[in-house]
Amino acid sequence: MDPPSAAFLLAESKNQPMHVGGLQLFEKPEDAGPDFVRELFDLAISSGDEVRPLFLKHPYRSVKTAGQLFWREDEQFDIEHHVRHNALPSPGRIRELLELCSRLHSTRLDWERPLWEAHLIEGLADGRVAMYTKIHHGLVDGISAMRLMQSTLSTNPDDRDMAAPWAKRPAPSRPKPEPETPMAEAARGLAGLPADALRTALGVTAEAAGMPGALIKTLSKGMRNETSTMSLHTPRTMFNRNITSARRFAAQDWPIERLRAIGKATGSTINDVVLAMCGGAIRTYLIEHDALPDAPLVAMVPIGLKAKESHLPSAEGGNAVGAVMARLGTDQADPADRLKAVQKSMKDGKDALKSLTPVQILAMSAIGQAPALLGPALKMQGIIRSPYNLIISNVPGPRSTHYWNGAKLVGNYPLSIPINGMALNITCTSYDGNMGFGLTGCRRTVPHLQRLLTFLDDEIGALEKAAGI
């Protein structure tokens, strides 16, 4: 087992499960019969134990392995344990769906079985079908997991008898790769890098210092004092406390066109607008809880680096990932000022990234790839105060419409990993003209998390108004 996988497994605890998730919403095809979901489920489990190796292995540790973790194939693989058929209670609103996903995301995966689950969910009042999937971060990172789920989708609405993402048998027709945008290209790096570079970065020092030590070393040597991308002057907030095992998930999407228009009118990127929306929503949330600190909150934002900036040979597996510490302008009452603060902070961070050496970039990438590990690593090293308050990721997804057995994918939302000291995570992903926001939090530490959706909606309106749209 490679060091990052082991690290994710070892960082896991009852209150801190280390799996990522995805929620996909589908519209049934017009020719769907009354048993469409049941048939989809039967198709999904029809693979039996003919699943890809990734979906067959589970971690194993014993006296014989001297306590070291290894991967082992599950010889009693039981597809019905992993793929499940669920339903929502009436009235079958999105609220009931999010409540179910919150619960499904709360439970730990069983180490004695392969570390994934997929839940097909029926019962939405509008007739749509949902799929919630979870997979351990020790197997794949969140972005790869999402891509994996998408990999079996088709751009052809007429394809039927399509395999599930875990099945060995390939889907009858795969989507043609789209021409990549710069963002998508960078994002490919997010998934491509860890296989090689991350292992190198972590592996070298892991032997001497152990995995957590390696991470913290790359953090301190690479960046802490040398660049402005790392800030240790973050306020301590209600999000930065220990977490419990229950989760709350909330998700919604907004048209990218609206974000783009704000960006165009204010000279900012779509990502800046996403961050300003988050900053504004968090400000309102914290005011409502009488818990807004004077200093602005800082988000760790993984960003893709172009090949030139990353200094990495392309053979290494695509582009590298950097991490920018972005001030969210939560101290500013005016939405325009917040957006400006975000914009400046992101620009400073990106400039600083350019001055990094290849080794520093590699170190950065390790953190960008494994942000969920940084918290536990910092803790183990006795650094109680994290250099940021939460992680906000924005991962580009496919831009064209995709289908699964004729069912049209109409929504795609990531679920991520809250950790001790970092109880809220926001991950966004684009799909087919929309930006999907997935908010995952500790149910207790971030009460009424779903209120943030309302505040995000308020905030995009306020930004439009401020931009004169």
Quickly list DSSP for 287-342. Answer: HHTT---SSPPEEEEEEE--HHHHT--GGGTS--EEEEEEE--TT-SSHHHHHHHH
Which residue in this structure is represented by tokens 């097909």? 120
Compute the least distance from the CB of residue 416 to a copy of itself, in Å. 20
Interface mask toward a copy of itself for 439-468; x: CB under 8 A: ----xx--x---------------------
Comparison of 423 and 460: residue with beta carbon closer to a copy of itself: 423
| 103 contacts a copy of itself (rule: CB under 8 A) | yes
Task: Identify the active-site residue in 105, 119, 137, 402.
Answer: 137
Which residue in this structure is represented by tokens 């003209």? 433
Alpha-helical (H) ranges within 75-140 are 79-82, 94-106
Comparison of 15 and 231: residue with beta carbon closer to a copy of itself: 15
CA distance 189 to 314: 10
Residue whose C-alpha is closest to residue 436's, from 396, 465, 391: 396
End-to-end CA distance of the chain: 53
* 137 is an active site residue: yes
| 107 contacts a copy of itself (rule: CB under 8 A) | yes
Q: Mention every residue, 6+ apart, whose C-beta is less than 8 A from residue 170.
A: 163
| 354 contacts a copy of itself (rule: CB under 8 A) | no
Q: Interface residues for a copy of itself in 379-438 (CB under 8 A)?
A: none
CA distances in angstroms from 25 to 126, 127, 223, 262, 359, listed in the order given: 11, 11, 40, 27, 41
Return the residue of 7, 88, 407, 419 that touches a copy of itself, per CB under 8 A: 88
Comparison of 35 and 207: residue with beta carbon closer to a copy of itself: 35
Number of residues that bind a copy of itself (CB under 8 A): 34
Interacting stretch for a copy of itself, rule CB under 8 A, among 84-92, 207-215, 326-334, 353-361?
84-92
| 225 contacts a copy of itself (rule: CB under 8 A) | no
| 91 contacts a copy of itself (rule: CB under 8 A) | yes
Comparison of 73 and 110: residue with beta carbon closer to a copy of itself: 110
Interface mask toward a copy of itself for 114-133; x: CB under 8 A: ------x-xx----------
Half-sphere exposure of 256 (CA within 13 A, CB side): 17
Query: Taking a C-beta distance cutoff of 8 angstroms, is the pair 198, 366 a contact?
Result: yes
Return the residue of 14, 64, 233, 308 that touches a copy of itself, per CB under 8 A: 14
Determine how many CB atoms are found less than 10 A away from the CB of residue 400. 11
Give the binding site for a copy of itself (CB under 8 A): 14-15, 35, 37-38, 41, 76, 78, 81, 84-91, 96, 99, 103, 107-108, 110, 112-113, 120, 122-123, 244-246, 443-444, 447
Catalytic residues: 137
